[in-house]
C-alpha cells in the first residue's frame, strides 16, 4: 500500500472530516486504489505542455465598477444556523 | 392519447389550438406522478400548488387571446442543485436539508420569463457526484424501463421523470456525463452544451471548470426549444460565453448529406457491452445511408481521461465544498470550538462519496503532491483537448456511445467506486475539453433497456449537433417509445 492510515487521517483533517476507526481501513484502501489507478498519467510526456484550467480561452473579464443592489441582509441571514444582532454566530474561535 | 407521454412541441400546438388547457395537462402529469412516483422516486420536492396556479395563468392568457411562448403552460422539473428562490434546494445532501435559496439561478429567471409550469426538484447523486443517483442522501431513483435498475446519474431524477411521464421536460447539470448518461439509460434526449453556453449562476458548484446546465427532453425538437430559453451570456457568470445565441430550432433540418462524421476507435472500449456496440454500429450505418461520410479517427489520450477527470473534478470539489462549514447556511452540528463544529457538521452531514472526493481532491492539491497529481492532470487535459482540435480539422462531428453499458442493477456497483468511475469513459473527455455533446436514443439491449448514441461537436456547434441528432432521430422511432411502468396506470 502506498497510502498509510496516517496519510488518510492527515487528508481527513485538511478536509475537516473525521473518519471513524471502523471505516478507516476502507477509506485508506479506497484512496490507495484510486492513486494506483491514476498512476497511468505518469507515462504521458508533458514537459512541454501547458496546463489547462479552463477549456475556453476566456481571460480578464472586466466590467465597470458600479454599485448595484445586492441581497438584503435579512435574506442573506435567513439560512444561518445561528445568528445574533444581524451577524452569523459561531462557537469560540480563540483560546481563552 | 396520454397527454403526459407527448413532447412539449405537440402539447404547445394543442394549447394554442385550444384542444387542451394547461390545467388539464398539468393535472394529467400530476395524476401520473400519483400513479408511478412511488415506483420511480424521481422527485425530492414537489411544487403542486404553484404548478396549478401557473397552469391557470396560462389558461387565462390563452382565453384572453394572447400569444404564448413555447414552454408556457408545459410542466417541467429542475435538478435539485439549481437554486430556486423560496423552494428548497438540497443537492440531495443532508447538509442542505433545509436550505431555501434567497435567489434564483440565472436559468430559473430565464425559464420564468417563459412561464412554464414547474413541478418540483428532482433527485440526484449528492452534490452531483455519481453516475447512478444511488448517492442521494434521501432515496435512490429507479429506472422507469426496469425499476430494479438505476436511472444513471447524477441527473437521474430529471431523466427518470421525463422518461416516466412525470415531467415533459427537465433541466440537469453535466460535469462528467451527468446529463448524457442518464438520458442514455432512460431513453430520452440529453444535451450538455458547450462550457459557458448556459450561465452557471445559481447552479450549486461541484467542479466549476467542468459544470454545465442542459436540457433533458422527449425528443431533439424539444431540446432545441429548451436550449433557446436557457442559453446566453450572463454578467453574473464571468465564464459564460458572449457569443450570440442563434435560434436553435432553425437547426432542426433533416440533412446530413456530406457531413463528415468521425468514429474514434478509442471509444469502443474493452468491456463495452455487446448490445451497445451493435446499436451504435447500426446507427453509424444509418448515418451512411442518410448520406454522411464516416471517417475513422483517433483520440489517443482518451485512455487518460478518467484519471484526469477524477483528479481535477475532486480538486475543484474539495475547494467548492469548503463553504459547507456550518456558519452561514446549511446544517450545523455543534462542537466545543469552531474547528470541532465544522468537523462534526461535515462528518455527519456529507455522504461517503462526497467525503471520498473531497479527500481525493485535498490529497491531489496538498503540498508535495500538487505537481505529481493536480498539475499533471491539468497538462493531460491540454492533450485531450488537442486531440479533439486535431480531429475537428477533418470531421464535423464525432459519434460514439454515451455509456459503455445499458443501465445496471441498483446496488451492483456501489461498493466499488473505481468501477463506477470507469462508466464515465465516453463522457468525461468532452467536459475536460469544454465541448458540446448530445445523447439520443438509438436502440435497446436484449433486456429492452435503452441505449444512447452520443454526438460530439466543436465548441459552440450546438446547431450542428441538433441537425445531426434530428436527422438521425427522424429516420427511426426510438424516441416515440415510452417506458411502461408496472404500477397503477393513470
Strand partners, B169: B76, B217
Cell matching residue B326: 456550518
Whether residue A12 lies within 8 A of chain B, CB to CB, comes out as yes
Task: Output B420 or A44, whichever has higher pLDDT.
Answer: A44
Do B328 and A80 make contact, defined as CB atoms within 8 angstroms?
Answer: yes
| Residues found in chain A | 96
**Partner B, chain A 25-54, Cβ-Cβ below 8 Å:** 27, 30-31, 33-35, 37-38, 40-42, 44, 46, 49-54
**Other beta carbons less than 10 A from residue B480's beta carbon:** 12
Per-window interface: B 404-423 vs A, CB < 8 A: 417-418
Q: A14: closest CA among B342, B417, B377, B336?
A: B342
On whether residue A21 sits in a domain, the answer given is yes
**Angstroms from A37 CA to nearest CA on chain B:** 7
Chain A closest-CA separation from residue B119 CA (Å): 24
Total domain count, chain A? 1
B178 a catalytic residue? yes
Query: Would you call B329 and A30 a contact, using CB atoms and an 8 Å cutoff?
Result: no
- Comparing alpha-carbon positions, the chain A residue that sits nearest to B385 is A55
All residues of chain A having their beta carbon less than 8 Å from the beta carbon of residue B104 are none
Q: In B, which residues are within 8 Å of A63 by CB distance?
A: 235
Contact A55 B195 (CB under 8 A): yes
A66 found inside a domain: no
- As for the ipTM of the complex, it is 0.95
Q: What is the largest CA-CA distance in chain A?
A: 58
**pLDDT tens for chain B, residues 1 to 490:** 899 999 999 999 999 999 999 999 999 999 999 999 999 999 999 999 999 999 999 999 999 999 999 999 999 999 999 999 999 999 999 999 999 999 999 999 999 999 999 999 999 999 999 999 999 999 999 999 999 999 999 999 999 999 999 999 999 999 999 999 999 999 999 999 999 999 999 999 999 999 999 999 999 999 999 999 999 999 999 999 999 999 999 999 999 999 999 999 999 877 889 999 999 999 999 999 999 999 999 999 999 999 999 999 999 999 999 999 999 999 999 999 999 999 999 999 999 999 999 999 999 999 899 999 999 999 999 999 999 999 999 999 999 999 999 999 999 998 888 888 888 999 999 999 999 999 999 999 999 999 999 999 999 999 999 999 999 999 999 999 989 885 433 3
Angle subtended at Cα A89 by Cα A88 and Cα A95, rounded to the nearest 5 degrees: 135
- Report the residue from A44, A56, A61 with minimal CB separation from B434: A56
Q: Which of B238, B378, B383 sits opposite A61 (nearest CB)?
A: B238
The C-alpha cell 462528467 sits at B176
Say whether residue B10 is in contact with chain A using an 8 A CB cutoff: no
Cβ atoms within 10 Å of B206's Cβ, excluding its own: 26
Decide if B445 is catalytic: no
- The 10 Å Cβ neighbour count of residue A84 is 8
Q: How far apart are CA B127 and CA B318, in angstroms?
A: 12
CA distance A67 to chain B (A): 14
The Cα–Cα gap between B224 and B453 comes to 17
Closest CA to B429 of B303, B262, B246: B303
Using the Cβ of A6 and the Cβ atoms of chain B, whether some distance falls under 8 Å is answered with: no
Cα angle B163, B169, B172; round to 5: 90
Is residue B258 exposed (0-12), middle (13-18) or buried (19+ Cβ within 10 Å)?
exposed
Contact state of A31 with B363 under an 8 Å Cβ cutoff = yes
Indicate the domain borders of chain B.
3-266+269-299+386-480
Give Rg (Cα) of chain B. 21
How many whole angstroms separate alpha carbon B262 and alpha carbon B390? 11
Please give the residue of chain B at the shortest CA–CA distance from A45.
Answer: B380
Helix (H, G, I), strand (E, B) or coil at A3: coil
Helix, strand and coil content of chain A, in percent to the nearest 5, comes to 40, 5, 55
What single-letter DSSP state applies at residue A31? H
Q: How far is B16 from chain A (nearest CA, A)?
A: 39
Residue A10 lies in a domain: yes
Residue B407 · residue B185 · CB < 8 Å: yes
The three grid cell numbers given for residue B304, joined into one nine-digit string: 487518460
Which residue in B212, B203, B210, B214 sits closest to B81, CA to CA?
B203
Nearest residue to B358 via CA among B313, B309, B308, B317: B317
A61 part of contact set with chain B, CB < 8 Å: yes
Q: What is the pLDDT of residues A53-80, one digit of tens each?
A: 988 877 788 888 999 999 999 999 999 9
Distance CA B232, CA B352 (A): 36
Which residues does chain B have within 8 Å of residue A22's beta carbon, measured at their own beta carbons?
none
Determine the distance in angstroms separating the CA of A89 from the nearest CA of chain B, rounded to an integer.
7
Q: Dihedral (C-alpha) B254, B258, B262, B268: value to the nearest 10 degrees?
A: 60
Largest CA distance in chain B: 70
pLDDT band at A2 (very low <50, low <70, confident <90, very high): confident
pLDDT at B486: 57
B154 is catalytic: yes
Looking at domain B3-266+269-299+386-480, its CATH architecture is Alpha-Beta Complex (3.90)
Q: What is the mean pLDDT of residues A12-28?
A: 97
Beta carbons of B307 and A75 less than 8 Å apart: no
- Structural domain for A23, as ranges: 5-43
The residue with cell 489517443 is B300
Q: Does some domain include residue A19? A: yes
Q: Which of residues 301-330 of B touch A (CB under 8 A)?
A: 301, 303-304, 306-308, 310-311, 318, 325-330
Report the distance separating Cα B121 and Cα B486, nearest Å: 24
Amino acid at each position: 500500500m502506498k497510502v498509510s492510515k496516517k496519510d488518510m487521517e492527515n487528508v481527513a483533517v485538511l478536509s475537516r472530516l473525521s473518519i471513524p476507526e471502523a471505516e478507516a481501513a476502507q477509506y485508506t484502501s479506497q484512496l490507495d486504489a484510486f492513486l494506483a489507478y491514476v498512476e497511468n498519467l505518469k507515462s504521458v510526456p508533458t514537459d512541454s505542455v501547458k496546463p489547462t484550467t479552463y477549456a475556453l480561452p476566456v481571460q480578464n473579464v472586466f466590467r465597470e465598477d458600479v454599485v448595484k443592489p445586492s441581497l438584503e441582509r435579512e435574506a442573506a441571514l435567513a439560512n444561518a444556523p445561528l445568528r445574533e444582532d444581524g451577524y452569523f454566530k459561531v462557537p469560540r474561535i480563540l483560546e481563552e | 392519447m396520454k397527454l403526459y407521454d407527448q413532447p412539449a412541441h405537440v402539447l404547445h400546438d394543442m394549447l394554442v389550438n385550444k384542444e387542451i388547457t394547461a390545467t388539464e395537462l398539468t393535472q394529467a402529469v400530476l395524476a401520473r406522478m400519483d400513479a408511478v412516483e412511488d415506483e420511480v422516486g424521481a422527485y425530492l420536492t414537489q411544487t403542486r400548488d404553484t404548478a396549478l396556479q401557473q397552469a391557470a395563468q396560462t389558461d387565462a392568457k390563452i382565453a384572453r387571446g394572447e400569444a404564448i411562448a413555447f414552454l408556457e403552460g408545459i410542466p417541467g422539473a429542475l435538478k435539485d442543485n439549481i437554486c430556486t428562490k423560496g423552494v428548497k434546494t438540497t443537492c440531495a445532501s443532508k447538509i442542505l436539508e433545509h436550505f431555501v435559496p434567497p435567489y434564483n439561478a440565472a436559468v430559473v429567471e430565464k425559464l420564468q420569463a417563459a412561464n412554464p409550469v414547474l413541478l418540483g426538484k428532482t433527485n440526484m447523486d449528492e452534490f452531483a457526484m455519481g453516475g447512478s443517483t444511488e448517492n442521494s442522501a434521501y432515496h435512490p431513483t429507479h429506472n422507469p424501463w426496469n425499476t430494479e435498475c438505476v436511472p444513471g446519474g447524477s441527473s437521474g431524477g430529471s431523466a427518470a421523470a421525463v422518461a416516466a411521464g412525470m415531467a415533459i421536460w427537465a433541466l440537469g447539470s453535466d460535469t462528467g456525463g451527468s446529463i448524457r448518461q442518464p438520458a442514455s439509460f432512460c431513453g430520452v434526449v440529453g444535451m450538455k452544451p458547450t462550457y459557458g453556453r448556459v450561465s452557471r449562476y445559481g447552479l450549486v458548484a461541484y467542479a466549476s471548470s467542468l459544470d454545465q446546465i442542459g436540457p433533458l427532453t422527449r425528443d431533439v425538437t424539444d431540446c432545441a426549444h429548451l436550449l433557446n430559453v436557457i442559453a446566453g451570456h450572463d454578467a453574473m457568470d464571468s465564464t459564460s460565453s458572449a457569443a450570440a445565441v442563434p435560434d436553435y430550432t432553425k437547426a432542426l433540418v433533416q440533412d446530413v448529406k456530406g457531413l463528415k462524421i468521425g468514429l474514434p476507435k478509442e471509444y469502443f472500449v474493452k468491456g463495452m457491452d455487446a448490445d451497445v456496440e451493435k446499436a451504435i454500429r447500426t446507427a453509424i450505418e444509418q448515418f451512411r445511408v442518410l448520406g454522411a461520410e464516416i471517417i475513422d479517427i483517433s483520440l489517443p489520450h482518451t485512455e487518460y481521461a478518467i484519471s484526469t477527470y477524477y483528479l481535477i473534478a475532486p480538486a475543484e470539489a474539495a475547494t467548492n465544498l469548503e463553504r459547507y462549514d456550518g456558519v452561514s447556511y446549511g446544517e450545523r452540528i455543534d462542537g466545543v470550538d469552531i474547528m470541532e463544529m465544522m468537523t462534526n457538521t461535515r462528518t455527519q452531514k456529507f455522504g461517503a462519496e462526497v467525503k471520498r472526493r473531497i479527500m481525493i481532491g485535498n490529497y491531489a492539491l496538498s503540498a508535495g503532491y500538487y505537481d505529481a497529481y493536480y498539475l499533471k492532470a491539468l497538462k493531460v487535459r491540454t492533450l485531450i483537448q488537442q486531440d479533439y482540435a486535431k480531429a475537428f480539422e477533418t470531421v464535423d462531428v464525432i459519434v460514439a456511445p454515451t455509456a459503455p453499458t445499458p443501465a445496471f442493477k441498483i446496488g451492483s456497483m456501489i461498493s466499488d467506486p473505481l468501477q463506477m468511475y470507469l462508466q464515465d469513459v465516453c463522457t468525461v473527455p468532452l467536459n475536460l475539453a469544454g465541448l458540446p455533446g448530445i445523447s439520443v436514443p438509438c436502440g435497446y439491449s436484449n433486456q429492452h433497456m435503452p441505449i444512447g448514441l452520443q454526438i460530439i461537436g466543436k465548441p459552440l456547434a450546438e446547431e450542428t449537433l441538433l441537425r445531426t441528432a434530428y436527422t438521425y432521430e427522424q429516420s427511426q422511432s426510438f424516441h416515440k417509445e415510452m417506458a411502461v411502468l408496472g404500477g397503477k396506470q393513470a
